[in-house]
Amino acid sequence: MALPSPALPTLVLASSSPYRAELLARLRLPFESHAPDIDETPLPQEQPEELAARLAETKAQIVGAKTSNALVIGSDQVAVLEQQMLGKPKTHERALQQLQAASGRTVFFYTGLCLLNTVTGASKTVVEPFQVRFRQLTEQQIDTYLQREQPYQCAGSFRSEGLGIALIQHLQGNDPNALVGLPLIRLTELLEQAGYPVL
């Protein structure tokens, strides 16, 4: 007689981002979302890739501490322009400054991804890079974009999945989903390695 297969762990997204939830929903897997509350301030001398990885891990750990039998997904993104990290602008004025600085230049986006198994305590963290070359933009073009899109909670004031695509001259990277905030190609790999079948 065949033994019953063990129940799969609950899939939990450690994020309040509707964009990440929308991306994860594309895999057509049942999941829950829980928002972690963390300080996103970089540590002294911390590099962008290190910050993205640490924030993703911290999100997964905070939510994982409150969850049993779960695979917890933590993700965070850091934008960098000429070695200066661009945070979430939060205001129109700051977003305008960020995009004026990015005009005609390349911004590097680093998206950290952590998958934490709350049963075993095992976790795996990766960082997915992506490059965005911005067009030469006028202040009026930037202001129009900001008024319509209001990307004030997005790193670098940029949302590629919306009107932000009109700001772009060139994109370079392995997974366009990483630019939105959740690298689904790498996530699929991590889930399958953890014994959670996507297909």
List active site positions: 76
> Which residues face 108 on adjacent strands?
80, 131
Considering only CA atoms, give the Rg of the chain. Answer: 18
